[in-house]
Amino acid sequence: MNETYDLAIVGMGFAGYTGGIYAARYGLKTVIIGDVFGGQTAEAHIIGNYPGFEEITGMELMQRVQAQTLKLGVTEIYERVNHVKVHGNDTGFELELANGKTVTTKKVLLTIGMNRRKLNVPGESEFYGKGVTYCATCDGYFFKGKDVAVIGGGDSAVTAALYLADICNSVQLLVRSDQLRAEQYWINKLEQNKKITVRFNSGIEKFTGGETLETIHTTNTENPEIHVSGAFIEIGHAPNKTFTEAIGITTDEHGFIIVDKNQQTSQKGIFAAGDSTNASNKFAQLLTAASEAAIAVEAITKGE
Ligand code: NDP
């Protein structure tokens, strides 16, 4: 007979572990389940807007939060959760894992983050792993001393460009519109960095090359062809609709999980926190993810 948890947290990112800290401190028997540790936070080169840390790498922050959580007695299971089955009649939930095992729990907190957005242009999948990548901190060192491009114009793209400028020979930031939407703090750093060239009005048409990537073809009329060894696609993330819709949870027109003021979803007993929800004005930050997880756990403790 499986043991029953008070709370199963699905997702191993910042919201998940924050939920774990609060749950353990409230005395809930808690498990955190996911296939990859750290979520988007672990991939962030530098975080400079989390109070108390002037600058910290995403991985170090995640490891600190994980250590704090585990010290409080929370269990971790490294496995993908395929589905959350609702028992009905308020008797809890069964989490179906990819290894065929199940976990039973009274309440669920979904901190499932988002899926990486893709460009969906010719050559993107062909050159994936052969020059095209989606993670600067994971793959940057393979391009040491080389010429690379970063695609996107938000905080992810700008911080990736800054990170790569320390490793690579040159970095071209390809922005599809005529403006960046990153924090001004990062834009200032970008402007001061001589290794980075920003190219506006540069939408991506296709990737070409031989064995590996050689050229990025853009919509820019002055510089339509960018010759680089690496292309880092950093164009944001989108919610995982397939997973939430299969559980029967209501999402908005973009696939974000709709939650109430207690972070409870349309399915009683299933709560959600972090980037995948419509909470906090969809302001996807570490601070909001952590707050939402804390609010959810407090509501669970009060019997919501
Ligand atoms: P954003 O959604 O903020 O930005 C996505 C960027 O990609 C935009 O510039 C967008 O262009 C561009 N884009 C989207 N689709 C395409 C496409 N098909 N072709 C070309 N460009 C495209 O995502 P981020 O991942 O940058 O940030 C998400 C959240 O995470 C934000 O709240 C951010 O503040 C936070 N974050 C903070 C970091 C930090 O402080 N260290 C690091 C990373 C993220 P357009 O503007 O034209 O739509």
Total domains, the chain: 2
Q: For residue 122, tell me if it sits in a domain.
A: no
Q: Are residues 12 and 112 in the same domain?
A: yes
pLDDT tier at 281, thresholds 50, 70, 90: very high
Boundary of a domain, candidates 211, 233, 255: 233
Structure token digits, residue 31:
């498990």
Q: For residue 154, tell me if it sits in a domain.
A: yes
Q: Are residues 245 and 99 in the same domain?
A: yes
Instruction: Look at residues 141, 126, 161, 147 and name the one whose alpha carbon lies nearest to residue 233.
Output: 161
Q: Are residues 245 and 106 in the same domain?
A: yes
Q: Is 159 in the pocket of ligand 1 (CB under 6 A)?
A: yes
**Burial class of residue 42, CB neighbours in 10 A (0-12, 13-18, 19+):** buried
Stated pTM of the model? 0.88
User: Closest ligand 1 atom, CA of 46?
Assistant: 41
Q: Is 236 in the pocket of ligand 1 (CB under 6 A)?
A: yes
Boundary of a domain, candidates 176, 210, 233: 233
Return the pLDDT at 61. Answer: 97
Determine the structural domain holding residue 74 and report its residue range. Answer: 4-116+237-302
Q: Are residues 255 and 228 in the same domain?
A: no
DSSP state of 280: G
Q: Are residues 207 and 248 in the same domain?
A: no
3-state secondary structure at position 21: helix
290, 291, 297, 303 alpha-carbon torsion, rounded to 10°: -170
Q: Are residues 94 and 243 in the same domain?
A: yes
Ramachandran class of 237: left when φ > 0, alpha when ψ lies in -120 to 50, beta otherwise: beta
Return the pLDDT at 3. Answer: 84
Instruction: Look at residues 166, 228, 163, 172 and name the one whose alpha carbon lies nearest to residue 196.
Output: 172
Separation CA 268–CA 247 (nearest Å): 12
Summarize the confidence of residues 41-67 as an average pLDDT: 94
Summarize the confidence of residues 64-79 as an average pLDDT: 98
Q: For residue 143, tell me if it sits in a domain.
A: yes
Q: Are residues 14 and 109 in the same domain?
A: yes
Q: Are residues 43 and 14 in the same domain?
A: yes
Residue 168 designated active-site? no
Q: What is the mean pLDDT of the chain?
A: 96
Provide the CATH number for the domain around residue 146.
Answer: 3.50.50.60
Other Cβ atoms within 10 Å of 142 Cβ, number: 14
Q: For residue 190, tell me if it sits in a domain.
A: yes
287, 289, 290, 296 alpha-carbon torsion, rounded to 10°: 140
Q: Are residues 57 and 109 in the same domain?
A: yes
pLDDT score of 16 more than 60: yes
Summarize the confidence of residues 114-126 as an average pLDDT: 96
Residue 139 designated active-site? yes
Q: Are residues 92 and 155 in the same domain?
A: no
Helix (H) or strand (E) holding 10: strand 4-10
Return the pLDDT at 90. Answer: 66
Residues 35, 90, 138, 260: which is the catalytic one? 138
pLDDT tier at 92, thresholds 50, 70, 90: very high
Give the residue, out of 151, 155, 185, with the most ligand 1 atoms within 8 A of its beta carbon, to mutate for a pocket test: 155
pLDDT score of 91 more than 80: no
Q: For residue 164, tell me if it sits in a domain.
A: yes
pLDDT score of 1 more than 60: no
* 156-212: pLDDT as tens digits: 999 999 999 999 999 999 999 999 999 999 999 999 999 999 999 999 999 999 999
* 212-257: pLDDT as tens digits: 999 999 999 999 999 999 999 999 999 999 999 999 999 999 999 9
User: Closest ligand 1 atom, CA of 177?
Assistant: 47
Q: Is 33 in the pocket of ligand 1 (CB under 6 A)?
A: no
Q: For residue 167, tell me if it sits in a domain.
A: yes
